[in-house]
Amino acid sequence: MKSLGRILLAFSAILLAIGAWIHTSAFNKMSAAVAKSDLVPFAAKSLRILWLEDSVVLLVLAITFAVIAAWPSAATKLVIVLLALIPAATALLVYYFVGTFIAGHILLASAIAAILGGFQYPAANRR
């Protein structure tokens, strides 16, 4: 196992954890804006759930990439690249709906780092 792959996955994990923290820390501000809006209650509650759900997904991916970086036999190249598609797709959605925004940059950088790190891993685990 090449250490570059582990470093890239660890970097991706750090970026995702920072993104989760930033996103979660903005929840109260978003929630206050939703409370002042004229959204129907179902839409308002759904937005709050989706906001926190995104933070949870980022944190779970951060933990997953950190575990794989620490124990390379925990995943294969294919699994890592497939997992990296989550922040990559989310970044594309951010760019499409919001435009150039720091969240998209963090997600894209973490996805690229994870994909490049994943390419350093073997196609199959050797135990």
**Domain extents for the chain?**
3-118
Tokens of 23: 């996103």
Instruction: Kindly give the parts of the chain with pLDDT less than 50.
Output: none
Q: Classify 113 in phi/psi space as left (phi over 0), alpha (psi -120 to 50) or beta.
A: alpha
| Cα 26 from Cα 30, distance rounded (Å) | 6
pLDDT, residue 101, reads 93
pLDDT, residue 126, reads 59
- Which pTM value belongs to this model? 0.91
